[in-house]
Structure 1
Amino acid sequence: MSAAARFDRGHTDDLMSFLAASPTPYHAVANAAERLEKAGFRQVAETDAWDGTSGGKYVLRGGAIVAWYVPEGAAAHTPFRVVGAHTDSPNLRVKPRPDTGAHGWRQIAVEIYGGPLMNSWLDRDLGLAGRLSLRDGTTRLVDVDRPLLRVPQLAIHMDRNVSADGLKLDKQRHLQPIWGLGDTVRDGDLIAFLEDEAGLARGEVTGWDLMTHSVEPPAYLGRDQELVAGPRMDNLLSVHAGTAALAAVATSGGELPYLPVLAAFDHEETGSQSDTGADGPLLGSVLERSVFARGGTYEDRARAFAGTVCLSSDTGHAVHPNYAERHDPTHHPRVNGGPILKVNVNNRYATDGSGRAVFAAACEKAGVPFQTFVSNNSMPCGTTIGPITAARHGISTVDIGVAILSMHSARELCGAEDPHLLANALGAFLQP
């Protein structure tokens, strides 16, 4: 029996659909909200007064979503179980004056977002998607999911040393994509094009948040289809798993000693300091208002937060067969080996021994194996929303995720079994 036949492909198939339909954080949270709506959740506006009724609710703010489920009769001091993730990925984003070009080429001016592997964006067919802000104060999502843009690489005949010296890219000069021909640059061309694509009248768009994406769809890879290649796994893989876990718990009908929560933030790749980032007030505000809406006091809020645990779920590094020396010699996470527990004693990750025990218990309940990731001492690790969440809200936080290769590439690689293993572990964590 092939590896692909050893697991239920339904979750991974659904992940691939989610990735393809979510080229931007705005699309990702809209798709997550749609899935939660099917599980009985309803949107609440931050500007409205909240009631303390039971059931599933969610808040959308830009590229972030916070969703929670209140069991019938839940006390105001009931602690939360939070799955944290982020919706953004490194990419090329459109500048305020996008129309540019030279030497007969029409180009789009872009800015580098986060820390992408820039070479992975070269010679790749790119679409354009994002959020349009309209003159009437509303917003409209747009997605041109077809080959529209391309960042052409310089031919080797004009860069004879590239093979020996490596590719060197200037972020300003070498990454502006082409999208047509013409000797005259006309301000407003791109936005007019997008107004047509979105079915809007000319002049309706007064603001925009636009970014490029690879139009190549996610796909199974390998002899036995044991792998999945696709865009934005860092970190929509966790957003998808968290959404599936929360929806499953909310519809299970079982008893819940905690209030299960999904918090998917924007701007993790640039430091999380925004009104939709993990270092902003969004999560704390939603959790507090949930306590107060159920008639709670500040004392109830303090009791709830003291008993709360957050799993910060983000992708991590699988051992790379061509660069195994870059990993810690005794910690080699493998794809399809189950989710990873991330540990760093310098608090780049928030995991401690008690948090490990919580995650181990969830994995044991779900029948899911897990692995541990620790960086090579000579290679400082990155960080996540985990330490930010722990410090900002004073809640116990554990860093976990799925091991992948090609992190921050335009197209990343994971094991085909790991997404549903993560979702099962998250479900067991939310419903212990």
Structure 2
Amino acid sequence: MNDEKFNFDLMDFIALSPTPFHAVEGMIYKLECAGYQRLFESDSWQLEEKQGYYVTRNDSSIMAFKLGEDPVSNGINMVGAHTDSPCLKVKPEPDMLKKGYYQLGVEVYGGALLNPWFDRDLSLAGRVNFIDENDDLDSILINFEDAIAIIPSLAIHLDREANKDRSINSQTDIPPVLLKLPPSEKKDKPSFKDILLHKIKDETGAIEVLDYELSFYDVQQPAYVGLHQDFIASARLDNLLSCYTGLMAMTETCNPGSKLLICTDHEEVGSASACGAQGPFLQSVLERIGGSHENTVRMIDKSMMVSADNAHAVHPNFADKHDNNHGPEINQGPVIKTNANQRYATNSDTSALFKQLCKKADVPVQSFVVRTDMACGSTIGPITASETGVKTLDVGVPTFAMHSIRELAGRWDAYYLFRVLKEFYS
């Protein structure tokens, strides 16, 4: 696969993955095309060597693996990423009617940059739970696809200090506008659940919507940007870029060793859930592969995890936000992330191995350490390492505007990471 095809496929994957549910659905499709078989945690597993498998939790986290000869003695090469991104989620009772405008109350999910959400064409996607005509409980993924909402900015004429000191109240300033009711209907507030029921009724036979997990997203498609198309601009690069890169590296690597990919939900809010990295998902699957506690411990000791999550590229307008010796540049290769206080799980052993892999793959590599006087973010790396005991490395593609509604990465960097992860899986 060359870089051009890789990037266009990456952008298509992100465009079709407005929520973690849709991302997992897209990954399932690619895994099944590659011959991977579905497993269910409630079933008894009979695993075969060289056969690929995948298993999901909550339809928003997924793990895929293929076992080589004697994984207990030889270990498993693992890559981890996360499926979620900061966004605006619809509240359980969201209906709002102000001055004849129908709006939905939203809750901020994760550490979102809120300013870029204003004046964007927004759609809505996620999971809807319902009762059908047989009184059975079921669910369906939906995607409105069209731009159905917007969060209009307040005109500068009404806030002359907007460019100096405008703050955002996440309760009152960001409910999206969906509809302007005519005067005759202003007293009749629409029902969001009725809107959802109308959308899914013909396809599902639903008679009542009980609940949902729905998120707004920007309908603008991912695209190349720049005079020489040096950049990829898109929503959810953090961290669907890593999910896709890990998936492609695994499915396109043919080798006799054991390999695993795990992409979990809820990283942006701490990973503390049944389907998050702090939950038991990975550990339980490793125990089923190992077959006993002792075998699992032996297998983990021979294994290694690459935690792939985007890194902060040095911004030319804000270069002083980086340590002078650790300012990763876009299109200069993946970034090894280290932190003395274990906010990243990298140590000298895992870092050295990754540098060796980059050399073998003929890929440049960079290092990132946050300024000593600034707080450091974290990833699933330290969580996975502490929960399972596996040796772990934190790496990522350098990115601008992380947690914005539209982020920016280099056109070469995801492909560089893909080549290194293929070398790792090999």
TM-score relative to the length of structure 2:
0.94
The answer on whether the counterparts of 2:265 and 2:275 sit within 8 Å (CA) in structure 1 is yes
Partner Cα distance (1:316, 1:396) in 2: 20
Among candidates 101, 108, 111, match of residue 112 of structure 1 = 108
Opposite residue 79 of structure 2, the aligned amino acid is V
- Equivalent residues of 2:343, 2:378 under 8 A apart: yes
Residue in structure 2 matched with residue 278 of structure 1 by the alignment = 277
Please tell me whether residue 70 in structure 1 is matched to residue 73 in structure 2.
no
Number of the residue aligned with 1:227: 231
Aligned residue pairs: how many?
413
Alignment match of 2:79 (pick from 78, 83, 91): 83
* Secondary structure class of the residue paired with 1:203: strand
Matched, 1:382 2:377: yes
Moved more, 212-221 or 92-101: 92-101
Contact 2:88 2:107 in 1 (8 A): yes
Supply the distance in 1 between the matched residues of 2:173 and 2:206 (Cα, whole angstroms): 32
Give 1:396's aligned residue. Answer: 391
C-alpha change, 1:307 and 1:184, in structure 2 (3 Å) is: farther
Pairwise CA distance, 1:330: 0.9
Distance 2:391 2:71 in 1: 20
2:94 aligns to what?
A: 98
Residue 172 of structure 1 aligns to a residue whose secondary structure is: coil
Quote the residue 1:190 is aligned against. Answer: 192
Pairwise CA distance, 1:46:
0.6
Cα deviation, residue 202, structure 1: 5.0
2: CA distance, partners of 1:52 / 1:118: 46
- Which blocks of at least 5 consecutive residues in structure 1 are unaligned? 1-6
Aligned residue identity for 2:147: P
Determine helix, strand or coil for the equivalent of 1:83: strand
Alignment of 1:237-276 (within 5 A): 237-249=241-253, 252=254, 254-256=255-257, 259-276=258-275
Amino acid at match of 1:239: C
Deviation at 1:161, TM superposition (A): 1.1
- 2:358 paired residue number: 363
- Is the Cα contact below 8 Å between 1:195 and 1:201 reproduced in 2? no
Aligned-partner residue type, residue 64 of structure 1: S
Q: Tell me how far 1:103 sits from its aligned partner.
A: 0.9
Partner of 1:175: 174
1:138, distance to aligned residue in structure 2 (A): 2.7
1:132 matched residue in structure 2? 128
Contact 2:17 2:23 in 1 (8 A): yes
Query: What is the CA distance between 1:377 and its match in structure 2?
Result: 1.2
Letter in 1 for 2:163: S
Q: Equivalent pairs: percent with the same residue?
A: 41
Residue 77 of structure 1, CA deviation? 4.0
Letter in 2 for 1:107: Q
Distance 1:265 1:75, change over 3 A: closer
Change (3 A) 1:203 1:184: farther
Partners of 2:327 and 2:44 in 1: how far apart? Answer: 50
The whole-number CA distance in structure 1 between the counterparts of 2:301 and 2:137 is: 40
In 1, Cα distance between equivalents of 2:71 and 2:103: 57
Flag the 1:276–1:184 CA change in 2: closer, same or farther, 3 A.
farther
Distance 1:193 1:200 in 2: 14
Q: Distance in 2 between matches of 1:377 and 1:118?
A: 27
Q: Is the 8 A contact 1:77 1:301 kept in 2?
A: no
**In structure 1, C-alpha distance between the alignment counterparts of 2:383 and 2:251, rounded to whole Å:** 26
CA distance in 2: counterparts of 1:60 and 1:99, whole angstroms: 32
Between the aligned partners of 1:309 and 1:322, the Cα distance in structure 2 is: 37
Partners in 1 of 2:327 and 2:319 — Cα distance? 8
Deviation of 1:99 after TM superposition, in Å, equals 1.4
Kept in 2, the 8 Å contact 1:99–1:185? The answer is: no
CA displacement at 1:305 relative to structure 2? 0.9
Q: Which moved more, 1:192-201 or 1:171-180?
A: 192-201
Partner secondary structure for residue 180 of structure 1: strand
Which residue identity lines up with residue 30 of structure 1 in the other structure?
E
Structure-1-length-normalised TM-score: 0.93
| Separation (CA, whole Å) in 2 of partners of 1:365 and 1:255 | 19
Matching residue of 1:430:
425
Following the alignment from structure 1 to structure 2, what is the Cα–Cα distance between the partners of residues 85 and 420?
Answer: 16
- Other structure's SS at 2:252 match: helix
Deviations 1:53-76 (A, max 9, x none): 1210011112100110012x4354
Aligned residue in 2 for 1:312:
307
- Name the residue aligned to 1:146: 146
Partner of 1:4: none
Structure 2 residue 333 is the aligned partner of structure 1 residue 334: no
Distance in 2 (CA, whole Å) between partners of 1:419 and 1:179 is 36
Contact 2:72 2:298 in 1 (8 A): no
Deviations 1:79-107 (A, max 9, x none): 11110000000010010012112111000
Letter in 2 for 1:95: K
**Root-mean-square deviation (CA), in Å?**
1.3
One-letter amino acid of the structure 2 residue matched with residue 142 of structure 1: I
Q: Is the 8 A contact 2:57 2:275 kept in 1?
A: yes
Alpha-carbon distance change, 193 to 341 in structure 1, aligned in 2, over 3 angstroms:
same
**Residue number in structure 1 paired with 2:162:** 162
Q: Deviations over 1:113-148 (max 9, x none)?
A: 001000011110100000112322332110111110
Q: In the alignment, residue 84 of structure 2 is paired with which amino acid?
A: D
SS at match of 1:120: helix
Offset of residue 197 of structure 1: 2.9
8 A contact 1:219–1:230 mirrored in 2: yes
Amino acid at match of 2:155: A
- CA–CA distance in 1 between the matches of 2:44 and 2:169? 50
Please tell me whether residue 205 in structure 1 is matched to residue 209 in structure 2.
Answer: yes
User: Separation in 1 of the partners of 2:275 and 2:342?
Assistant: 23
